[in-house]
Amino acid sequence: EFDVPESHPRYESLLTRHRIEAGVKKGITSTQGLIAEGRGEAFDYLLGERTTESADEAERVAAASLLLADRPVLSVNGNVAALVPGEIVELAEATGADIEVNLFNRTEERMEAIADHLCEHGASEVKGLRADGRIPGLDHERAKVDADGIESADVVVVPLEDGDRAEALDSMGKTEIVIDLNPLSRSAQVAAVPIVDNILRAVPNITAHARELADEPASTLETIVSEFDPDAALAAAEEAIRHGDLQ
């Protein structure tokens, strides 16, 4: 049980650790997920544990891009499932996206545990178990995807993704929205929309933007997407880490 008071200065960070630990115990999160979490925390600390102005802009662009997509998919791994299961379901509903479990360390047990966990949090359909599609250029287990999911998606949200897979998805011509606290990671570097923010803050904020943009004409959404500069977003994140930004 998690019984740290909300007034604790490190409440969010402790809650995050608790969720990841519980995820490992439940068979959802891999033990490597603990390491990924530690790495993310360090970057979040340097960013001031807040959504920067440029991350908020990237989150709005992500929402516009998902609303414009023909076949948007939200990719879920063991860390994502532990940290934001309900929030992912809400984002899927707000944007009409599919949810697909896609693991770096794929085992059938963990695939099923994560799919069940997402269903417990309101998902009506979870893809990834059929595994009748492939991402070219990756070894067998890591290449497995659903043919009517990630394989045929036009826009994919890949949070906390490993660099190889982000590059392989980019080579398939997908528009990638990457959520990663490290602006120097290869995943963030190849993304059409890099979001340098904690997934705990990023996913609900993309949903909020999607709800706000839902009735806008496609032309407005297209302008939002086309005016976005991913290199400038990465540079702003790096600047916020080095010097803090003046908000």
Give the Cα separation of 47 and 51 in Å (integer).
Answer: 8
Burial of 108: CB neighbours in 10 Å, binned 0-12, 13-18, 19+? exposed
Residue 182 found at the interface with ligand PTJ (CB under 6 A):
yes
Residues 6+ apart with CB under 8 A from 25: none
Report d(CA 66, CA 72) in Å as an integer.
6
* Of the residues 13, 23, 33, 63, which one makes contact with ligand PTJ according to CB under 6 A: 33
Q: In whole angstroms, how close is the CB of 29 to ligand PTJ at the nearest point?
A: 6
Q: Which tokens sit at 37? A: 């979490």
Footprint of ligand PTJ on 190-219 (CB under 6 A): 198-199
- The least CB distance from residue 226 to ligand PTJ, in Å, is 26
136 and 168 in contact (C-beta within 8 Å)? Answer: yes
105 is in an annotated binding site: no
Q: How many residues bind to ligand PTJ according to rule CB under 6 A? A: 25
Q: Does 237 bind ligand PTJ (CB under 6 A)?
A: no
- Tell me which residues in 99-118 interact with ligand PTJ (CB under 6 A): 103-105
| In contact, 61 and 95? CB cutoff 8 Å | no
Round to whole Å and give the CA distance between 96 and 70.
Answer: 9
Residue 186: Cβ within 10 Å count: 18
Tell whether residue 228 is a contact of ligand PTJ (CB under 6 A): no
199 is in an annotated binding site: yes
Residue ranges for the known binding site are: 17, 39, 180-182, 186-187, 198-199
Q: Which residues of the shown chain bind ligand PTJ in the complex (CB under 6 A)?
A: 30, 32-33, 36-37, 39-40, 43, 77-79, 83, 103-105, 160-162, 179-182, 185, 198-199
